[in-house]
Amino acid sequence: MSSTPKIIPLADVRTAQLSARDAFARAAASGDGAHGARPVDTRNRPLSDLRISVTDRCNFRCVYCMPKDVFGRDYPFLPHDELLSFEEIARIARIFVGLGVHKIRLTGGEPLLRKRLEHLVELLAAIPGIDLTLTTNGALLARKARALHDAGLKRVTVSLDALDDATFRAMNDVDFPVARVLEGIDAAHAAGLAPIKINAVIKRGMNEAAVLPLARYFKDSGHIVRFIEYMDVGHTNGWRMDDVVPAAEIIRTIDAELPLEAIERNYSGEVAERWRFRDGGGEIGVIASVTQAFCRDCTRARLSTDGKIFTCLFATEGYDVRALLRGDYRDAQIENAIAAIWRQRADRYSEIRTANTVRAAKVEMSYIGG
Ligand code: SAM
Ligand code: SF4
Ligand code: SF4
């Protein structure tokens, strides 16, 4: 993004990226496609998930994601012609599916701010064999749940960091009331979007007290709350290790009142560690991206709002697939280029996080897609 300050480059990461960039360009120039081959990266990880950021804008200013002092009135959000069109997104999604992707998540920024998002849902839902979902802050969900469902969306994840109104308003930092998000969750349920997952980022000193009330509120509801460790995404949120509430502490807190037992992950590569209430009241999850990195099984690529592919949430640079989409390139060439970067992928940021990596000029989560 244009406002990225110059910060210490990670020399080894850069060298790898340069050769991957080379491979990307060379593969795009070659006429051949990947012919249905499913690429694996240098750590033997397949490509199976794609997160698509449909807008870098948001109506919230969550303190851990888009702090107000950085994302203010003058922030240079992308102009409309820089955004991928829905048709471009659908084309690239089909190409990714040819390479092995079977799960697509629409995200952002706040995806429900993108006009006529239902139309994109319709285009993506028509691709055979994909599990299509969306992550939202829930502010506009009460209004849009039905249309999204009717367009083919199956399920939804809603971010909700506290039930206490004052804490929630302080976390979103735009004074948005929690009741409206709860209405959105109810509307999603009524529209048949299920199961609903609730994402709660826990930041020390801000909302640790929200853990138990969230667990109590959603127990027996069929919805699954996932508590997420606060991460050093981007470079604007002023992250410190001291602000992270470890997943193990979250589990201890809940287990003390509502006894839990660990259960198997649904599939290899699932980011949440699953726990169920011993009394049969459903399950919760914890996403321990800081204290128990799960890079080993990471099969996710991200597509930014302006059409760059990122192979890690903590990447500093992406690959410009929009130039290929808008150039005279055939699907087979684009497929080849994506396969080439995936084969060179070596990302494992969370496993090698240090004080220096935290300061790197990583792209913002709202742009790359959470
Ligand atoms: N605006 C939508 C929302 O909030 O659900 C979608 C985009 S948001 C970037 C996607 C997810 O990333 C949200 O669940 C949010 O809580 C999470 N997130 C954002 N910043 C984070 C951080 N610093 N650490 C951990 N999770 C974060
Ligand atoms: Fe917006 Fe989602 Fe980031 Fe909050 S977490 S600022 S809702 S993009
Ligand atoms: Fe995947 Fe990068 Fe996160 Fe590791 S740090 S789990 S490679 S996105």
* CATH numbers and ranges of domains, the chain: 10-357 (3.20.20.70)
Task: Give the number of whichever ligand sits closest to the CA of residue 203.
Answer: 1
* Ligand 3 geometric centre to CA of 296 (Å): 8
* Ligand 2 geometric centre to CA of 300 (Å): 20
pLDDT (tens, 9 = 90+) of the chain, 370 residues, equals 333 333 323 334 344 555 677 777 777 777 666 566 799 999 999 999 999 999 999 999 999 999 999 999 999 999 999 999 999 999 999 999 999 999 999 999 999 999 999 999 999 999 999 999 999 999 999 999 999 999 999 999 999 999 999 999 999 999 999 999 999 999 999 999 999 999 999 999 999 999 999 999 999 999 999 999 999 888 777 888 999 999 999 999 999 999 999 999 888 778 899 999 999 999 999 999 999 988 999 999 999 999 999 999 999 889 999 999 999 899 999 999 999 999 999 999 888 887 667 777 788 888 888 8
* Ligand 3 geometric centre to CA of 47 (Å): 13
Task: Give the number of whichever ligand sits closest to the CA of residue 349.
Answer: 3
* Sequence-ordered list of residues with C-beta below 8 angstroms from that of 46, at least 6 positions apart, any chain: 38, 39, 40, 100, 299
Asked if residue 66 has its Cβ within 6 Å of ligand 2, the reply is yes
Collapsed DSSP state (helix, strand, coil) of residue 70: coil
Collapsed DSSP state (helix, strand, coil) of residue 317: coil
The model's pTM is 0.92
If one residue of 314, 341, 353, 354 were mutated to test the ligand 3 pocket, choosing by the most ligand atoms within 8 A of its CB, it would be: 314
CA angle 42, 46, 48 (to 5 degrees): 145
Nearest to 178 by CA among 196, 193, 156, 200: 200
Nearest protein Cα to ligand 2, atom 3: 65
CA angle 72, 75, 77 (to 5 degrees): 130
d(CA 157, CA 164): 20
Task: Give the number of whichever ligand sits closest to the CA of residue 369.
Answer: 1
Q: How far apart are the first and last CA of the chain?
A: 16
Neighbouring C-beta atoms of residue 279, cutoff 10 Å: 10
* Sequence-ordered list of residues with C-beta below 8 angstroms from that of 367, at least 6 positions apart, any chain: 1, 53, 56, 78, 109, 304, 305
If one residue of 136, 141, 365, 366 were mutated to test the ligand 1 pocket, choosing by the most ligand atoms within 8 A of its CB, it would be: 365
- Residue spans of beta strands (DSSP E) within 37-152: 49-53, 103-107, 131-136
If one residue of 71, 206, 228, 287 were mutated to test the ligand 1 pocket, choosing by the most ligand atoms within 8 A of its CB, it would be: 228
Collapsed DSSP state (helix, strand, coil) of residue 119: helix
What are the C-alpha distances in Å from 156 to residues 111, 117, 159? 12, 14, 10
* Ligand 3 geometric centre to CA of 210 (Å): 27
Q: Which amino acid is at 202?
A: I
- Residue spans of beta strands (DSSP E) within 144-243: 155-159, 196-202, 224-229
Q: Give Cα 98 distance to the centre of its chain.
A: 21
- Cis amide prior to 195 (ω within 30 degrees): yes
* Ligand 1 geometric centre to CA of 365 (Å): 7
Asked if residue 168 has its Cβ within 6 Å of ligand 2, the reply is no
d(CA 203, CA 239): 10
Ligand 1 atom at minimal distance to the Cα of residue 110: 1
**Residues lining ligand 1, judged by CB closer than 6 Å?**
58, 64-65, 107-108, 110, 135-137, 159, 199, 201, 228, 230-231, 233, 237, 365-366, 370
Q: Which amino acid is at 86?
A: F
